[in-house]
Amino acid sequence: MADILLKNIGKRYKNSDTLSVSNFNLDIKHKEFIVFVGPSGCGKSTTLRMIAGLEEITDGELFIDNKLMNDVAPKNRDIAMVFQNYALYPHMTVYDNMAFGLKIKKTPKAEIDARVKEAAKILGLEDYLKRKPKALSGGQRQRVALGRAMVRNPKVFLMDEPLSNLDAKLRLQMRAEISKLHRRLDTTTIYVTHDQTEAMTMASRIVIMKDGVIQQIGTPKEVYNHP
């Protein structure tokens, strides 16, 4: 279960005198796949990072399952985030990269092992568990990043341009894999992209942003008149 409510959310960075995000209102239901789309600098990442707790919310309220989250630490938010640059630990194997967050939480070894192997199976990484990230392709690295997020069994998945570093063919393939993963897991997903085609094909609802505000919210059909 994860319903997410953003109520009049705003962000003013400390060193800035303008609002990077303002009056952001959005009611997200469990299992939705929300895509934030808009040009570079419109506030997509900032909004995502506020939901993750990586950036302070300077205005408004964030609720997850009716609980006010503004002051809840990232590690207590039950959220996993996947980044554009994968953010893998270069000196660790694929296995250890995927296991790391669970180890920190002192999850029993047998359970870590089961969860990592299950994720590896789903993501087609079973044969790569002993490799280091530098011995993987871009698509495989992004699968490891997805696996690392997945093993935490998060209620919410946040993805910030996860496919931007991949070539066109792989982007297409990973797009389908992420959609499939979302359907399979019991999560709510918020996905940031500047790619309209990604938004159209993946979203249950699209949020179009410009200059820190929402311009439009709707299904792909409503937003792009796409059948």
Residues forming contacts to ligand ADP in the complex (CB under 6 A) are: 13, 15-16, 20, 38, 40-46, 52, 74-75, 79-81, 100-101, 104, 149
CB of 93 to ligand ADP, least distance (A): 15
CB of 155 to ligand ADP, least distance (A): 12
Closest to ligand ADP by CB, 5 or 151: 151
CB of 83 to ligand ADP, least distance (A): 8
Closest to ligand ADP by CB, 104 or 127: 104
CB of 15 to ligand ADP, least distance (A): 5
d(CA 98, CA 117): 10
d(CA 155, CA 109): 22
Which residues are bridge partners to 156 per DSSP? 79, 188
Closest to ligand ADP by CB, 108 or 227: 108
Closest to ligand ADP by CB, 74 or 218: 74
CB of 213 to ligand ADP, least distance (A): 11
Closest to ligand ADP by CB, 164 or 201: 164
Phi, psi for residue 184 in degrees, rounded to 5: -75, -35
CB of 70 to ligand ADP, least distance (A): 16
Closest to ligand ADP by CB, 164 or 221: 164
CB of 227 to ligand ADP, least distance (A): 28
d(CA 27, CA 5): 5
Closest to ligand ADP by CB, 44 or 141: 44
